[in-house]
Amino acid sequence: MPSTASIAHRVAVGAGWLMGWRLISRILGFASTLTLARLLVPADFGLIAMATSFAAVVDGLSQLRVQDALIRNGAGDRDSWDTAFTLQAARGLLTATVIVVATPATVAWFGEPRLAPVLLVLAGLAFLAGFENVATVEFRRTLRFGRQFVLLAVPRLAGLATTIPLAFAWRSYWALIAGMAALRLSTLVLSYLLKPHRPRVTLAAWHGLIGFSLWAWASTIASMVWERSDALILGGVFGPQDLGTYLLAFEIALLPITELVAPATDALFPGFAAARAEGSDVLSSTFLVIATLLIGVVPAALALSASAAALVPVILGPRWELAAPLIAILSPVCIFAPVSYTCGTMLMASGYVRQHFLAMALASVVKIGVVSLAARTQDLLLTSAVLVACVAIESLAFLVQLRRLGRLDLRRWLPTLGRIALAAAVTGTLAVLSGQGWKPASPQDPTGGLLTGAALGFGTCATFWLTLAAAWWYAGRPDGAERRLVVLLAGVCSGLGRSRLLRNVSRRRPS
């Protein structure tokens, strides 16, 4: 049985693989987004968002998370794989059927007849997804994230290679649909090439999977409602044009989460599941993970918020001008999201699936209610601010669940969180006093806008980290997230002969 230290090392390597995948994916995706933003109009993005949001909600209703059950239970036998495949194939058929049947009602809700053929294509893709090779879960269960990297990266490249040329040729939202189809088909084929397995229809191991999956299913529904409800609500109120602008702004504002927090928590789930199997109390390290993620996420969120007004008109063009204030408003989501991401992963990996569901269900109900009320004002900026408040409530709901389990030692981590808050306050204040933060660029000087935005981004991150380092040093270099990052950096540099200074810095100063 691997030691806890070995598991931690493999989790760190896995996080590196997944972050590498995210980095490559985001570079390609960001270049694709910039290209598509010039070729397509916001209404095209909004139309696709309406269709994919509805399809995702339907998919969530039948999602049993059997792969997570395989990881948590340590099941790697053929019966477990084949049972999971059978359940997955049935889910794909059910999802496709529901999408087809509900298409007329969905078209009527959004008042957008162009949705009908798009939804039918998405139904076909959902059906295909049910036949992907479930045995690839072994890559995650055994922490072999190199193959998982390939399984994610190659289909992504296939999708982009399809979308961009067709967008140039068609100038239509159908280019986006074609890219989705290429991604789905390549994932299906590659899953069997990377992990040869001939599945058979059986339910022999259903009890071990469903026992975990029933609460996981409820939790998935709550999570899907949480993630997609804003698009469904705003699409019906504001229409595809404003919805497309909002969703692109939200995607950009969430870059620190999608590129840092999401891959880290993806690697944490199998790692913590393995540690739990050894008897370790993974919940006790929740705040260490949260604080460590915040050190990377908070300055990135501040940089995005402060520089959006200068960069968006230059990079995306005048049709996306409304995205700049939306990014500035939505970026603070990144301050709260690491809490819910980390707590949710900890609860699921530790088997507290019911508690995960309760937190997500409460947050989803609150979000639907307050966003629906805010949308009635027809003010997209106000509605975006309300969404940020909803994410804060979601984080609080997860903390309450941890508190009820008796695993929330907030007082121990208050000094670390206080130093992070101090660094954020100093950084934001200096950005305002500079006269450049949150200031629109001149349309006549795009080069100046790019330089200003880049300087703001670099200066914001540097100011935050220097302020945090100074506060940590003044406090006596105590144990915490800062020390963990210094030790990690020392390990990275150990092969370069540059780690002696970092090792000295990481030592706690004598009282």
- d(CA 412, CA 287) in angstroms, rounded, equals 9
Q: How confident is the model at residue 408 (pLDDT cuts 50, 70, 90)?
A: low
Mean local confidence (pLDDT), 456-461: 93
Q: How confident is the model at residue 462 (pLDDT cuts 50, 70, 90)?
A: very high
Contact 149, 20 (CB under 8 A): yes
Dihedral Cα 500, 267, 297, 327, nearest 10 deg: 150
Mean local confidence (pLDDT), 181-195: 93
Look at 68-82, 332-346, 407-421 and tell me which has the smallest mean pLDDT. Answer: 68-82
pLDDT at 488 over 80: no
- d(CA 301, CA 392) in angstroms, rounded, equals 15
Q: Which of helix, strand or coil describes residue 41?
A: coil
Mean local confidence (pLDDT), 205-224: 72
Predicted TM-score (pTM) of this structure = 0.79
Give every CB contact of residue 22 below 8 A, 6+ residues apart in sequence.
258, 259, 262, 263
Residue 134: CB atoms within 10 Å: 25
Please name which of 323, 351, 306 lies closest in space to residue 456, comparing C-alpha atoms.
306
Q: How confident is the model at residue 1 (pLDDT cuts 50, 70, 90)?
A: very low
Mean local confidence (pLDDT), 341-360: 87
Output the pLDDT for position 195: 84
Does an H or E element contain 87, and which?
Answer: helix 78-110
Q: Which one is predicted more confidently, 285 or 315?
A: 315
- d(CA 73, CA 212) in angstroms, rounded, equals 9
- d(CA 370, CA 162) in angstroms, rounded, equals 39
Q: How confident is the model at residue 136 (pLDDT cuts 50, 70, 90)?
A: confident
Q: How confident is the model at residue 275 (pLDDT cuts 50, 70, 90)?
A: low
Look at 109-113, 232-236, 316-320, 405-409 and tell me which has the smallest mean pLDDT. Answer: 405-409
State which amino acid sits at residue 189: V
pLDDT at 145 over 80: no
Contact 36, 169 (CB under 8 A): no
- d(CA 211, CA 208) in angstroms, rounded, equals 6
For residue 285, give the DSSP letter.
Answer: G
pLDDT at 507 over 60: no
Look at 111-120, 214-223, 242-251 and tell me which has the smallest mean pLDDT. Answer: 214-223
- The tokens describing 234, both together, are 């705003």
Q: Which one is predicted more confidently, 76 or 388?
A: 388
pLDDT at 130 over 50: yes
Output the pLDDT for position 511: 47
| Residue-wise DSSP of 213-238 | HHHHHHHHHHHHHHHHHHHHHHHHHH
- d(CA 231, CA 240) in angstroms, rounded, equals 10
Give every CB contact of residue 472 below 8 A, 6+ residues apart in sequence.
419, 478, 480, 482
Three-state SS across 238-252?
Answer: HHHHHHHHHHHHHHH
Output the pLDDT for position 505: 53
- pLDDT tens per residue, range 426-448: 999 999 999 888 988 777 778 88
Kindly report the backbone phi and psi dihedral angles of residue 377, in degrees, each rounded to the nearest multiple of 5, phi listed first.
Answer: -75, -10
Mean local confidence (pLDDT), 135-141: 74
Contact 65, 137 (CB under 8 A): no
- The tokens describing 300, both together, are 């990135």
**Average pLDDT of the chain to the nearest whole number:** 83
Give every CB contact of residue 5 below 8 A, 6+ residues apart in sequence.
none
Mean local confidence (pLDDT), 308-327: 89
Q: Which of helix, strand or coil describes residue 317?
A: coil
pLDDT at 385 over 90: yes
